[in-house]
Structures are given as C-alpha cells and as structure tokens.
C-alpha cells in the first residue's frame, strides 16, 4: 500500500498521507486525495478518503485532516472538484463529509457495492 501511495504522489503530486498523534508521533491513520480511475459518477475522479484508528475515533482527527487535504487539493494542486464516497450505513464518514463542506448528490454503484457520494467544488 505504501508503494502505491508513493507512486500516486510521484505521478499526480498529491495523495494519501500519514496522520500522527502530535504528542507521541504514533501513527493513528491516513488521509488524502487519490485519483480513482474507475469512478464513473463524475468526470472528476479525485476522492478524499480517510482511515483513523478505532481508539481515536470521535476526536475530530478525520475531519481536521480531510479538510486540510481538500484545501491542499484546491489551493496547491489546483483541483476544481473533490468527491468522497462511503457505504450508506457509515454514519461516521458521512458526518466527516458534512463537516468538511461536502454535499450529498446521491447514490452510486462502485466496486460492486452501493455507495453514497458527496462532493465539493472549489470556492475561492
């Protein structure tokens, strides 16, 4: 997985990055924007995603890191739109999407499963 993430950074100039506990330096998750070539709902295929350790959920780490990744995608990389998707029952990820200003356009089938998807467009 690390090699895949490094390759993505080399090719696109953005990608997933580590989320560390600022007090201990312990790895507590990953977050970032990745190009998803098999996403078909929108012409833009750049998806913000995250995974935070279960023992750190509810602390706002996912929202803070995802918001930073989205801002970087717009400000430094120059993307115009970022999407995010999850399983319909994943209420925690849907809350992160809401907190980061993504809006809900609808349902989609992705990787043979139903997903809800959200998006946000660049706003100066």
DSSP designation for 47:
E
User: What is the structure's pLDDT at 16?
Assistant: 96
For the chain, domains (ranges, CATH) are 2-121 (3.40.630.30)
pLDDT at 110: 87
The whole model's pTM is what? 0.92
Mean pLDDT by 10 residues, the chain (124 residues): 93 95 93 94 94 94 96 96 96 96 93 94 86
Could you tell me which of 51, 57, 47 has the C-alpha nearest to residue 102? 47
Q: What is the pLDDT of residue 48?
A: 98
- Identify the pLDDT of residue 123: 80
């Amino acid at each position: 997985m690390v090699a895949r993430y490094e390759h993505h950074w080399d090719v696109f100039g953005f990608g997933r990055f580590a989320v560390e506990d600022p007090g201990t330096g312990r790895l507590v998750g990953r977050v970032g924007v990745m190009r998803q070539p098999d996403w078909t709902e929108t012409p833009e295929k750049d998806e913000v995603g995250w995974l935070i350790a279960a023992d750190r959920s509810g602390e706002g780490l996912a929202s803070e890191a995802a918001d930073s990744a989205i801002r970087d995608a717009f400000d430094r990389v120059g993307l115009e739109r970022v999407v995010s998707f999850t399983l319909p029952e994943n209420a925690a990820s849907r809350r992160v999407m809401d907190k980061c200003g993504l809006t809900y356009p609808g349902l989609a089938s992705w990787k043979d499963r139903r997903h809800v998807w959200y998006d946000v467009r660049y706003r100066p």
